[in-house]
Amino acid sequence: MLALQILIDGFAISSLYALGATGFTLIFGVSGVLNLSHGAIMVVAAVIAWWVAGTFGAGAYLGALAGVAAALACAFFTYSVIVRPIQNSGAIPKEEKEIFVLTGTLLWGIMLQEAVAYLFTDNPKTVRPLVDGVVMILGVRTPWNEILTAALSWGAIGLLYLLVNRTRTGKSLLAASMNPRGLTLLGFEMSNIYVLVWAIYGILAGIAGVLLGAFLGVSSANAGTLTASAFSIVVLGGLGSVSGSLIAAYVVGYLETMTAYLVSPSIRTVPVLLLLVLVVYLRPQGLLGRR
Amino acid sequence: MRITHKIGIASAAFGLAFAAPAARAADPIKIGVIAETSAISGVGIPNAAKMAAEEINAKGGVNGRMIEIVDYDDHSSAADAVRAFQRAAQQDKVAAVIASYISEVVLALEPWAGRLKMPLITPGAASNEITKRVHDDYDHMKYVFHGYLASTQLSDVVCEAGKALMVNDLKMKTAVIMSEDAAWTIPLDEEYVKCLPASGLKVLDHIRLSPDTTDFTPIFNKIEGEKPDVIVTGISHVGVQPTVQWQQQQVPMPMYGIASQATNATFWKDTNGAADGVIFNMVAAPDVAVTAKTIPFAKAYKEKYGSLPGYAAYQSYDEVFMWAEAIRKAGGTDPDKMVEAMEKTDYVGTIGRIEFLPKDNTFAHGMKIGEGYITGLMVQWQNGNPVTIWPANVATGKMVFPAFTKLPQ
Amino acid sequence: MIRSRTFQLAVPALIVMALLPLGVDGYILGLLTLAYYYAVFAMSWDLLFGFAGEVNFGPSFLIGIGAYTAALLNHYWLWPIPACLVAGAFAAVIAGAVLAVPALRLTGPYFGLVTLVAVLLLQNMIVLFAGITGGEIGLDLPDVLSIDDNTNYYYALVFMTVSGAILFGLAQSPVGLILQASGQNATEAAALGFNVAKHKLAAFCISAFFSGLAGAMLIFYMGTASVGTVVDIAVGVNVIIAAVLGGRRTIIGAALGAIFLIGAGEILRPLGQLATFVVSAVALVVILFFPGGFMGRILQSGGRE
């Protein structure tokens, strides 16, 4: 009974982690950027969805759409105002671009977080779920919303998979993550690919944010934790490896859920942190990373 | 004058130039207010204080001097609050400070109140430690007053009401305590463990959760597995998230106890209505005439700021009047005389009749509770409105629970 | 050249700082006292990043270890302040070495992640063992450095000046140059016969020493040690922003950045919640348009290069 409960609850939260981390790792794979405003963008999506659905009475679907659109806008802004100028800058030495991108996106994340706190207070908000009610799965009472969260997460990841493997644009994206130089030689414009990957990222982060808002509720104060958890999952899975991130998301999700059930909810994140240190020391390329 | 300050700080900060301290008119009496304004429980503190100051000033002020509220945003951080407190005392020369609803912040300020001899009162922090320090080291800490109930006192109110509501009305026998890991819940939980059984509720388990928790599913499942009749809460940093997940997962037992976020008027909207049926403690509520001042204050507040006041706003409003009264009696802003005058407070505010306990009491400078003084209320969210359900003589409604709640037969 | 230019700027600035208590009131001094401790955090960080090329995401791990060691010794065993400071600094060095020995094999984001995780673990431990550490409440200290603003100010100023001089001297010395070389191209530096790992470890330990010491000083100034003041990720973030803003690889720039950051936060206080937003926006603009930071700008306009 307990095992089944852990299985079901862990699955939903892990799917959400997976969705959140997929976009994050995709960007790293293609452009080598670690976007530290990730958590803040998810928060923006959730809060905008809450605001549009609640204040304008626009309903859950329109709200969710507005949330995803807001995340997309933020992602584009992150790329065009912060990441691209730094990457193209002649004044920053090459080996220091990484720290500048990190600091820049970090600052941008703080700005987003503070703006949300200022406009909407830092009280947690919950997005109205698309479906209400519960269903019994083998004796475990499960909210429909939890099932929907998992299903939508996997739906989005599935679409991404189709896009990457079945379309020409998608294939160029995959190629870019493996060998950017080769792709340029073949005549592809890298900047187009970057725009595409940031657009995909924005949509994925937006969906993840809205779903998180509906499933658990989100406050502007969570932005840092969300970034840190995406970062950990991605490193655990191997930087740039999407399938590695998916597996890592489940490892993290289940480890947390098991700790909360079997040990104590107050040390939920500790085993994950220890595992992370261990993996980084013993196998720094992560579970499925390439060196 | 503000501009001189700015330039002063700017130039000093860069170490480029000197800035003479700006000249100050002696006219208004300043009261500092330190709280985080982007937190819902926090924003009511300066708002309500400003209302009180306006009312006092409209009647001619104190000894002919106007009251001016100087507010500082501490981002709920102890370090920021200490800086704000130093600024209030040393730069802005306030006469007294009203600070924060977070115990961690107030406890960090307390030694500074002693060091800088700056009278301090908190409108919303609950830790027992606040008054214990006054009791243990009166000579240094006497500048600190506790304008809200201590955790132990809060538990006692919850237990007393629990006996009437949960045990007598609903025939409940068992409970699980669910509280967050924080300073103020340590004495709260200790008292719960003692007083709940005395009220007739056997404590089956005692779960403490990290204030950073976002996924409460495992906690609710664990509680449900233990089959208690009711979940007794002690939460403040968390609130919206557990409530929403409780409703979504249709956890069949009611949530009852202390839930600070639930005291805010926006709680219903923040939770999309998941709050329906949640029972929480307040010292004053907008629908109950705890005293003749309660309802007019709540109404005026809503008119001015667009929403009902959160729990700390009531105390903050009263505290400005109490400081003003203390200054009037002390004949000025000498801190020692103000403390002496404040100790003799007998004031009927929005939350009841307020008197402070003497220095030999364990809750030295805490408020006197009980019949005729501060009693506390239990309030339930019903259909978008907070409805007072206890004590019976002021109740405005009966308990109603959502359909998924299973009450003992 | 850099040395003389920096020297020309630093000496008059220090004289002005030393004379400040004659002219400004206690509150501004209190603010600067805090800023000077942050300056030491930022300078220590710059030694590690600017010279050894390692991005330490967890400066507050080292700061926190130093601060909490000192706080526990003072709170429970009533050790005198100087003994607590020494113990705090050495505890930070030991913790730093334990963290660094395996972590320095890693590069780039991996090193960053390990340092970040170290902070999260420390924070969890402090909250988990709340009975001893005071948890989120923090520990109050029986002793403070002083309650007099001027005295506190001079403690901080002298401490910052001495630490700054040592760190700056170290960065300009042959050791600093080796560090810089290994930060930019480790393979090349190793090929030239330098023990890169040993030098980086030394840099980490020195950085840890000053971070820990400054953390311990800070809590004896504040009178309490709490997670929010010395351990929280936000503290580390501020340190990093200060160092990058001031101009990395200059040491002194980091101090300038820290003073700016604390000063700006305070000047903008009337904006309330928006203050942090504005400070971050200003920092972002500086990073995008003047990547050399304040100090880079000053040194450049002075005709260097």
C13 in a structural domain: no
Percent of chain B, pLDDT > 70? 94
**Single-letter code of the amino acid located at C185:** N
DSSP-assigned letter for residue A218: B
pLDDT: which is higher, C267 or B159? B159
C15 in a structural domain: no
Q: Does B183 touch chain C (CB under 8 A)?
A: yes
- Separation between Cα atoms, residue C290 and residue C298, nearest integer Å: 11
**Single-letter code of the amino acid located at A221:** A
| In this structure, CATH architecture of domain A2-282 | Orthogonal Bundle (1.10)
Identify the residue among B24, B34, B86 best suited for mutation to test binding to C, counting C beta carbons within 10 A and taking the highest: B86
Answer yes or no: is pLDDT of C2 > 60: no
Percent of chain B, pLDDT > 90? 59
Answer yes or no: is pLDDT of B12 > 50: no
The pLDDT tens digits for C138-172 are 787 877 787 777 888 999 999 999 999 999 988 88
pLDDT on residue C217: 95
Is the CATH code 3.40.50.2300 the one for domain B152-282+376-390? yes
Answer yes or no: is pLDDT of B7 > 50: no
CA atoms B89, B92, B97, B101: torsion sign: negative
Half-sphere exposure of B211 (CA within 13 A, CB side): 18
Question: Does the beta-carbon distance from A91 to C288 stay under 8 Å?
Answer: no
- Separation between Cα atoms, residue B151 and residue C222, nearest integer Å: 26
Question: Does the beta-carbon distance from C106 to A82 stay under 8 Å?
Answer: no
Query: Residue C184 class from Cβ within 10 Å (0-12 exposed, 13-18 middle, 19+ buried)?
Result: middle
Nearest to B270 among A117, A126, A132 (CB): A126
Question: Does the beta-carbon distance from C106 to A284 stay under 8 Å?
Answer: yes
Q: Are strands B377-382 and B385-390 parallel, antiparallel or unpaired?
A: antiparallel
Q: Does A145 touch chain B (CB under 8 A)?
A: yes
| Cβ atoms < 10 Å from Cβ of B368 | 18
pLDDT on residue C3: 56
B2-149+291-354 maps to which CATH number? 3.40.50.2300
pLDDT on residue C12: 84
Overall average pLDDT of the A91-119 stretch:
87
Half-sphere exposure of B376 (CA within 13 A, CB side): 24
Overall average pLDDT of the C47-54 stretch:
78
Nearest to B213 among A125, A141, A268 (CB): A268
DSSP-assigned letter for residue A128: P
Which segments of chain B belong to CATH 3.40.50.2300? Answer: 2-149+291-354, 152-282+376-390
Q: Would you place residue C301 in the very low, low, confident or very high pLDDT band (cuts 50, 70, 90)? A: low
C275 in a structural domain: yes
- Separation between Cα atoms, residue A267 and residue A271, nearest integer Å: 8
| Of B188, B384, B109, B366, residue with least CA distance to B273 | B384
Question: Does the beta-carbon distance from B240 to A124 stay under 8 Å?
Answer: yes
Residues of chain A numbered 226-255 and touching chain C (CB < 8 Å):
228, 231-232, 235, 239
Q: In what order do the strands lie in the sheet with B67-72?
A: B67-72, B29-34, B96-99, B120-122, B144-146
- Separation between Cα atoms, residue C233 and residue B219, nearest integer Å: 27
Overall average pLDDT of the A26-53 stretch:
91
- Separation between Cα atoms, residue C252 and residue C256, nearest integer Å: 6
User: How far apart, in Å, are the Cα atoms of B137 and each of A149, B186, B356, B364, C221?
Assistant: 55, 21, 17, 10, 21
Answer yes or no: is pLDDT of B11 > 50: no
DSSP-assigned letter for residue A96: G
Answer yes or no: is pLDDT of B25 > 60: no
Q: Would you place residue C5 in the very low, low, confident or very high pLDDT band (cuts 50, 70, 90)? A: confident
- Separation between Cα atoms, residue B29 and residue A131, nearest integer Å: 56
Q: Which of B78-82, B229-233, C92-96 has the lowest mean pLDDT?
A: B78-82
Q: Return the CATH number at C169.
A: 1.10.3470
Overall average pLDDT of the A115-142 stretch:
83
Nearest to B6 among C22, C267, C272 (CB): C267
pLDDT on residue B359: 92
- Separation between Cα atoms, residue A35 and residue A33, nearest integer Å: 6
Contacts of B120 (CB under 8 A, 6+ apart): B85, B96, B97, B98, B99, B106, B109, B110, B113, B143, B144, B145
pLDDT on residue A94: 79
Nearest to B86 among C30, C127, C130 (CB): C30
Q: Are strands C139-140 and B96-99 parallel, antiparallel or unpaired?
A: unpaired
pLDDT on residue A206: 96
pLDDT: which is higher, B381 or C178? B381
Q: Does C274 touch chain A (CB under 8 A)?
A: yes
Q: How many domains does one find in chain C?
A: 1
**What's phi and psi for B385, nearest 5 deg?**
-125, 145
Overall average pLDDT of the B266-287 stretch:
89
Q: Residue C39 belongs to what domain range?
A: 30-301
Joined tokens for residue C263? 């000063």
pLDDT on residue C282: 87
Overall average pLDDT of the C216-228 stretch:
87
Q: Does B128 touch chain C (CB under 8 A)?
A: no
Answer yes or no: is pLDDT of C246 > 70: yes
Q: Would you place residue A122 in the very low, low, confident or very high pLDDT band (cuts 50, 70, 90)? A: confident
**Residue B48 near residue B33, CB atoms below 8 Å:** no
Q: Does A265 touch chain B (CB under 8 A)?
A: yes
| Of C115, C123, C125, residue with least CA distance to C45 | C115
Question: Does the beta-carbon distance from A9 to B221 stay under 8 Å?
Answer: yes
Nearest to B207 among A9, A129, A265 (CB): A265
Answer yes or no: is pLDDT of C203 > 80: yes
pLDDT on residue B6: 38
DSSP-assigned letter for residue B23: P
| Nearest CA-CA distance, residue C237 and chain B, Å | 15
Nearest to C117 among A34, A102, A276 (CB): A276
* Average pLDDT of chain A to the nearest whole number: 86
DSSP C61-128: HHHHHHHHHHHHHHHHH---HHHHHHHHHHHHHHHHHHHHHHHTTS-HHHHHHHHHHHHHHHHHHHHH
Overall average pLDDT of the C213-224 stretch:
91
Joined tokens for residue B159? 């237990």
| Chain B partners within 8 Å of C218 (Cβ) | none
pLDDT on residue C143: 79
| Cβ atoms < 10 Å from Cβ of B138 | 14
Query: Which chains have at least 3 CB atom pairs separated by less than 8 Å from chain A?
Result: B, C
pLDDT: which is higher, C252 or C51? C252
CB pairs under 8 A between B and C: 131
Answer yes or no: is pLDDT of C35 > 80: yes
How far, in whole angstroms, is CA A276 from its chain's centroid?
18
Overall average pLDDT of the A201-227 stretch:
90
| Chain B partners within 8 Å of C130 (Cβ) | 181
Q: Does A254 touch chain B (CB under 8 A)?
A: no
Across A130-139, B189-198, C286-295, the highest mean pLDDT is recorded for: B189-198
What residue in A sits closest to B264 (Cα-Cα)? Answer: A123
| Chain A partners within 8 Å of C288 (Cβ) | 82, 85-86, 104
Query: Residue B115 class from Cβ within 10 Å (0-12 exposed, 13-18 middle, 19+ buried)?
Result: middle
CA angle C286, C287, C288 (to 5 degrees): 95
Percent of chain C, pLDDT > 90? 29
Answer yes or no: is pLDDT of B280 > 90: yes
C286 in a structural domain: yes
| Chain B partners within 8 Å of C223 (Cβ) | 82, 111-112, 115
Q: Does C276 touch chain A (CB under 8 A)?
A: yes
Identify the residue among B2, B14, B238 best suited for mutation to test binding to C, counting C beta carbons within 10 A and taking the highest: B14
Answer yes or no: is pLDDT of B23 > 50: no
| Chain A partners within 8 Å of C114 (Cβ) | 277, 280-281
Q: Does B405 touch chain A (CB under 8 A)?
A: no
Map out the domains of chain A as residue ranges: 2-282
- Separation between Cα atoms, residue A54 and residue A19, nearest integer Å: 25
Overall average pLDDT of the C241-252 stretch:
86
The pLDDT tens digits for C267-280 are 887 776 788 888 88
Contacts of A204 (CB under 8 A, 6+ apart): A19, A20, A22, A23, A26, A156, A160
**Residue C217 near residue C145, CB atoms below 8 Å:** yes
The pLDDT tens digits for A61-86 are 899 999 999 999 999 999 999 999 99
C198 in a structural domain: yes
pLDDT on residue A102: 86
Across A179-193, C69-83, C180-194, the highest mean pLDDT is recorded for: C69-83
Q: Would you place residue B20 in the very low, low, confident or very high pLDDT band (cuts 50, 70, 90)? A: very low
The pLDDT tens digits for C166-176 are 999 888 888 78
| Chain C partners within 8 Å of B90 (Cβ) | 25-27, 30, 149
The pLDDT tens digits for C112-133 are 778 888 898 898 888 878 778 8
Overall average pLDDT of the A255-264 stretch:
87
| Nearest CA-CA distance, residue B9 and chain C, Å | 6
